[in-house]
Structure 1
């Protein structure tokens, strides 16, 4: 790959739009909710940490370990608008996380 093409690929990567929002995790009949500035990588990150026994949420890790089939369902429940100011994004995520925690009767990740 020539230098100009490499620079173009790097620039496109840096300018990509990454969805931020709230997700729900269903595991062993229980529900957890979490927030992420990058929803596209949430499920992979969750499965990796759970498979390696290193997830920081002990209750979720126990539920995962108790399952013989290792069934985990991750769903995006809300995506923030792309126009959300990056400096306000964290506050908006926290507020929406509390909302979805109440609506779903879930625990926080």
Structure 2
């Protein structure tokens, strides 16, 4: 990649609008749901599936279910998108609040 192209790609990446929100990963066999929050909702599924495929996801229950049932028995769903907050602590507090709401509503586990 040429230097100009690399610089343009880096600038575009830094200036992209973050999509924040709450998501769920569901096991179709057991019916279990895991609820998480992310400041990069558009890329979180890829990151989750990568760590699960390699067997090193930090949520042991989710990793165990993945290992027992296989990737084809899991779904990813975006539950809610949130407005982007400039202040980090406000953003983080809002994400935590909404994740707790969805966990209680769906009876899901934290990721």
Q: Give the shorter-chain TM-score range.
A: 0.7 to 0.9
Q: CA deviation at 1:41?
A: 1.4
TM-score, length-scaled by structure 2: 0.85
Taking structure 1 as reference, are residues 2 and 47 closer, same or farther at Cα in structure 2, changes over 3 Å only?
A: closer
Equivalences for residues 1-109 of structure 1 within 5 A = 6-27=6-27, 28=29, 29-68=31-70, 70-82=72-84, 84-87=85-88, 88-109=90-111
3-state SS of 1:98 partner: helix
Please list every run of 5 or more consecutive structure 1 residues that lacks an aligned counterpart in the other structure.
none
Q: Tell me the distance in 1 between the aligned counterparts of 2:70 and 2:10.
A: 42
Taking structure 1 as reference, are residues 36 and 68 closer, same or farther at Cα in structure 2, changes over 3 Å only?
A: closer
Q: CA deviation at 1:77?
A: 0.5
Count how many residue pairs are aligned between Structure 1 and Structure 2.
108
The CA RMSD over aligned residues, in Å, is 1.9
Q: CA deviation at 1:40?
A: 1.4
1:58-102 deviation per Cα after TM superposition (whole angstroms, max 9, x unaligned): 1111111111463211111011113x2332111110001100001
Q: Tell me the distance in 1 between the aligned counterparts of 2:51 and 2:9.
A: 30
Taking structure 1 as reference, are residues 7 and 30 closer, same or farther at Cα in structure 2, changes over 3 Å only?
A: same
Q: Tell me the distance in 1 between the aligned counterparts of 2:70 and 2:4.
A: 50
Please list every run of 5 or more consecutive structure 2 residues that lacks an aligned counterpart in the other structure.
none
3-state SS of 1:23 partner: strand
1:16-54 deviation per Cα after TM superposition (whole angstroms, max 9, x unaligned): 102011101102321010011111111111111111110
TM-score, length-scaled by structure 1: 0.86
